[in-house]
Amino acid sequence: SRFETCWPALMKDSHGVIIIFNPELPSHLKEIEMWYSCFVQQQPLLDSQCLLVAHHKPGSAEDTENLALAYPLNKLKLIHSNLEEDPEDVRMEFMKYFKSIITIINENREREEMSIIS
C-alpha cells in the first residue's frame, strides 16, 4: 500500500485500533488479517484494544450477520453496524469500547507511577 510509510507515525503511542470493513467483500476479510497483524500484534496492543466493525450498507445481504472469522480475528470484539436500522446500538458499543480503552490507559499510568515510586 502506498500509505505504508506513514504507518509508524499513525501507530506511535496509539491506545486502540478500530477496523471497519465490508463483510460482503471477501477481499476485506483477508485485508483485516493484515491490518490486525500490523496495527495490533506488532505494536503490541491487547486484543481488547481492538474493535472490529462489520459495516452493513443499506439493503445489503443479511447472511453476513453471522460472520465466522478465523483465528486470531475471532478473539476480537466484533460489532455489526447498520446505521439505518440501529444507530443507537452502534453508539452504545462505541461508548463501551472507549470506556475500556480509558480504563487500560489509566491502569498503565498507575503502573508506571508505582514503578517510579518503588
pLDDT of residue 29: 84
pLDDT of the residue at 6:
82
Span 57-85, average pLDDT: 81
- Higher per-residue pLDDT: 98 or 13: 98
Residue predicted with more confidence, 72 or 7:
72
Rounded to two decimals, the pTM is 0.83
DSSP string, 51-76: EEEEEPPTT--GGGSS--PPTTGGGS
**pLDDT for 63 beyond 70:** no
- 7 contacts: CB under 8 Å, gap ≥ 6: 38, 39
Mean predicted lDDT score pLDDT of the chain:
88
Task: Tell which wins on pLDDT, 30 or 45.
Answer: 45
